[in-house]
Amino acid sequence: MDLTLQVWRQASRTAEGKFVTYEAKDISPDASFLEMLDVVNERLTERGEQPIHFEHDCREGICGSCGMMINGIAHGPAGGTATCQLHMRHFKHGDEIRVEPWRARAFPIIKDLMVDRSPLDMIIQAGGFISVNTGSAVEANTLLIPKAVQDRSMDAAACIQCGACVAQCPNGAAQLFTSAKVAHLGLLPQGQPERYERVVRMVEIMEEHFGSCTMYGECEAVCPKEISIDFIARMNRDYIAAKFKNRKSEANG
């Protein structure tokens, strides 16, 4: 199939960027979106031009590095898919495809389609962990966790930190990401001691960098791991509870 691409090209963080049109001819419908870009890049390199920079690593939908806006939708039109798992059969011969980087104040463009997502790491550093003295692994059956709780926690833990939720959200909010990370630990017994402290710390950093939630639901719709916005409600609940609890915490009152 033949396609016309309009790709955002920007040489560096501070350079002016612009859309450049490329013809992508003879693309296999079985190619992934990244493989299609590889083909385009190979031809660009042969012509002595700079290839289109984009981030990628696993190419199997688990590392979260490959996000881009494809025709105005994060990770493209397929839904529940990372860009690397999006196949060209979702497009038609002759289609025009516009490719843009994630756009958010928190995600400055490094080059072309590649952005710096480190504020997501900062949110994790603020509380996306449990504090334990690591020794040898604990015998697995000493802590029994109900199946339903495990499953729910696992649903949240599926987040690959790709940033599509932020990119798609009209408010540039990172609520889906943060709430998934809050819930993933907050649901499990190991996460209980720091549960309320964790949510407050993570939300504080989140609000420094990102927008606020108005329940558009756009994040959930594009999340490659189909994380539910119900986790956002859960995070709000824990945050509100944390603020009220801290007024007279168990330790102080």
Partner 1 sequence: MTAAAPATTNVRASWLLGFWHSAIGKKAVMAVTGIFLFVWIFLHMAGNLKVYIGPEHYNAYAGFLITMGAPLLPAKGALYAVRALLLIAVWLHIQAATQLTLMNRRARPVGYANRDYVSAGYAARTMRWGGVIIVLFVIYHLLHLTFGTVHPDFIEHDVYHNFVTGFQVWWVSAFYIVANLALGMHLYHGLWSMFNSLGLSHDRFNSWKRGFATVFALVVTLANISFPIAVLIGVLR
64 burial (CB, 10 Å; 0-12 / 13-18 / 19+) is: buried
d(CA 124, CA 151): 21
CB 120 within 8 A of CB 161: yes
Angle at 113 between CA 179 and CA 170, to 5 degrees: 45
Q: Read out DSSP for 111-139? A: ETTEE--HHHHHHHHHHSS------SPPP
Q: Which does 127 bind (CB under 5 to 8 A by kind): ligand FES, ligand HEM, partner 1, none?
A: partner 1
Q: Of ligand HEM, ligand FES, partner 1, none, which one sits near residue 196, judging by CB under 5 to 8 A according to partner kind?
A: partner 1
- Identify what 82 binds: ligand FES, ligand SF4, ligand HEM, none; CB under 5 to 8 Å per kind: ligand FES
Instruction: Considering only residues 43 through 82, tell me which ones interact with ligand FES, judged by CB under 6 A.
Output: 56-59, 61-66, 82
Residues 84-113 interacting with ligand HEM (rule: CB under 6 A)? none
Which residues in the 169-188 window bind ligand SF4 by CB under 6 A? 176-177, 180
Q: How far is the CB of 195 from ligand HEM (least distance, A)?
A: 23
Contact map string, positions 215 to 244, toward ligand HEM, x by CB under 6 A: x-----------------------------
CA distance 155 to 199: 18
Footprint of ligand FES on this chain (CB under 6 A)?
A: 56-59, 61-66, 82-84, 160
